[in-house]
Amino acid sequence: MEMMQAWTVSDLTAHIKALILSDAQLRDVWIQGEVSNFVRYSSGHCYFSLKDAGATLSCVMWRSVADTLPTMPQNGEHVLAHGHINVYETRGVYQLYVDFIRPAGIGDLHAEFERLKARLEAEGLFAPERKRPLPRWPRRIGLVTSPHGAALRDIVRVIRSRFPNVELILAPTLVQGQDAPPQIVNALNALIEYGDVDVIVVARGGGSLEDLWAFNDERVARAIARSPIPVVSGVGHETDFTIADFVADLRAPTPSAAAAAVVPDGQDLRQRLRAYVARLVQQVHTSVEERRQRVRAEERALRMYSPQARIEVARQNVDHLTARLHHAVQHRMSFTRSRVEALSARLEALSPLRVLERGYAWVQRLDGTLITSVRQVEPGEHVWIRLHDGRLETWVVNKEEEP
Amino acid sequence: MSVPVEDLSFEQAFAELEHIVRILEEGSQPLADTLALYERGIRLARHCHKLLDEADLRIKQLVPNGLGGYDEEEFTGPLDSR
């Protein structure tokens, strides 16, 4: 019996990891449980478990998150944590990568978030029909963010690379902490009142859930909802959703994505420009070529009726007639010639010289008069006797008249 | 059609270029017009490319002027640090 093809441990683990990562729910998990085995290493990273009566979940909390906590979680403490699930292949475990944690029940941010979200949603502030389209060609872009943050750098970089033919108006504000929400509201209002901008981006780079909390503030949400200018939110990372995102006309997953959403793509525009030029050239070529064809056709037609053509036809007619004439004359001439020949032949046959050849002769006076009767001469007269090859001069000796 | 190409904003130039291409493609206008449109279209495209090539992002910021309003200033903060 044939053996099944065996997995390698790495392949199987990679497969399981891929399964887990493909589940969107596991990328954004809220979880309650009791902390146990809490350890903070010298690196600052924290490792612990969350458990309840039936199960245990391994958790990792990086230093960057741990540093933002006022107090570390204690073993046995009930907490509310947020994060995503991933597989740590080396140890063959799946674990929660915590980006937010706080004691359960006390100031429950999550519950607060859900209550506010439900209330604003019920008011219709998230309704799709409230969403306005973004301007296709913004000239001035308002930006509500920290002048020192990564968000500003990312946005400037993206706009520079895509479509720098705009003006960016920064309304500086704090983006985290207690003072952030009223400042964000002021910055937004300043842009609306003063800025003459076509679209507003509200942005903040990635951070812990608490860092982003200003964007879950009701005042911020309502200021965005009131804005007469379309607002794009770009807060945190792909997985972070804030109330500001729900109210904004467009939610971009990151500040960079927000920048990309408000300006057209310069590369794409260049390509379209080139395509337009190609179409222009093609059109002009076609249109000139078409007309050339039409001109040629007309030219041919015209040539048929030109005086030159008539002259050529006339010339041809003359040639033709000349040929006929020539032919007719030739014919006539040869006919005449043959008749003349026939007549000469007959004439020759009748020539008196021929009679002389047969032995006859005729007699002439010296003046050439033909003598046909003895009565015309007297003896002693000189006469010519004409033979076929010459003549003889003789005397008439005697004459006898015959009856 | 009479506005000099150089005076058009990118969006105006681009929109007119789109318009010209459409007219020519539908087109049965006189040859002289075709050539004029073509010439204008090429100049518009060149202008658009030039604007894209030469444009540099301008950044300003709003600062309170102490009178309850705001002034616009050049933004001078560092962007390329870190």
Q: Residue A232 is part of a domain; what is its CATH number? A: 3.40.50.2300
Q: Is B18 helix (H, G, I), strand (E, B) or coil?
A: helix
pLDDT at B80: 53
pLDDT at A107: 54
CA dihedral A106, A107, A108, A114 (to 10 degrees): 150
Q: Could you report the predicted ipTM of this complex, rounded to two decimals?
A: 0.71
Identify which of A74, A88, A109 has the alpha carbon closest to the alpha carbon of residue A20.
Answer: A88
Q: Express as a percent the part of chain A with pLDDT over 70.
A: 97
Q: What is the pLDDT of residues A128-155, one digit of tens each?
A: 999 999 998 898 999 999 999 899 999 9
Q: What is the pLDDT of residues A276-331, one digit of tens each?
A: 888 888 888 888 888 888 888 887 877 777 777 778 887 888 888 888 888 888 88
pLDDT level of residue A22 (50, 70, 90 thresholds):
very high
pLDDT level of residue B77 (50, 70, 90 thresholds):
confident
Query: Which of B9, B57, B79 is nearest residue A164 as measured by Cβ atoms?
Result: B57
- Average pLDDT for residues A351-368, to the nearest whole number? 81
Are A194 and A225 part of one and the same domain? yes
Q: Express as a percent the part of chain A with pLDDT over 90.
A: 43
Q: How far is B17 from chain A (nearest CA, A)?
A: 8
Are A172 and A257 part of one and the same domain? yes
Q: Is this model's pTM higher than 0.80 or not?
A: no
Q: Which domain holds residue A91?
A: 9-107
Please state the φ and ψ torsions of residue A103, each to the nearest 5 degrees.
-55, 135
Are A83 and A179 part of one and the same domain? no
Total number of domains constituting chain A: 4
Optimal mutation site among A194, A273, A279, A295, interface B, most CBs of chain B within 10 A: A273
Q: Which domain holds residue B69?
A: 5-74
Are A273 and A259 part of one and the same domain? no
Nearest CA in chain A to B52: A165
Contact B72 A169 (CB under 8 A): yes
Q: Residue A55 is part of a domain; what is its CATH number? A: 2.40.50.140
Is the distance from CB of A98 to CB of A83 less than 8 angstroms? yes
pLDDT at A2: 54
Q: How far is B74 from chain A (nearest CA, A)?
A: 9
Are A228 and A280 part of one and the same domain? no
DSSP structure class, residue A373: S
Is the distance from CB of A243 to CB of A215 less than 8 angstroms? yes
Residues of B in contact with A190 (CB under 8 A): 62, 70
- Tokens standing for residue B42: 């090429």
Query: Which of A153, A168, A276 is nearest residue B58 as measured by Cβ atoms?
Result: A168
Q: Report residue B34 CA to chain centroid gap.
A: 24
Helix (H), strand (E), coil (C) string for A166-231 = CEEEEEECCCCCCCHHHHHHHHHHHHHHHCCCCEEEEEECCCCCCHHHHHHCHHHHHHHHHCCCCE
Q: Is residue B80 part of a domain?
A: no
Q: What is the pLDDT of residues A179-238, one digit of tens each?
A: 899 999 999 999 999 878 999 999 999 887 778 889 999 999 999 999 999 999 999 888
Identify which of B24, B44, B42 has the alpha carbon closest to the alpha carbon of residue B33.
Answer: B24
Say if residue A10's pLDDT is above 50: yes
Rounded Cα distance between B33 and B24, Å, is 10
- Does residue B49 sit at the A interface (CB-CB below 8 Å)? yes
Q: Is residue A400 part of a domain?
A: no
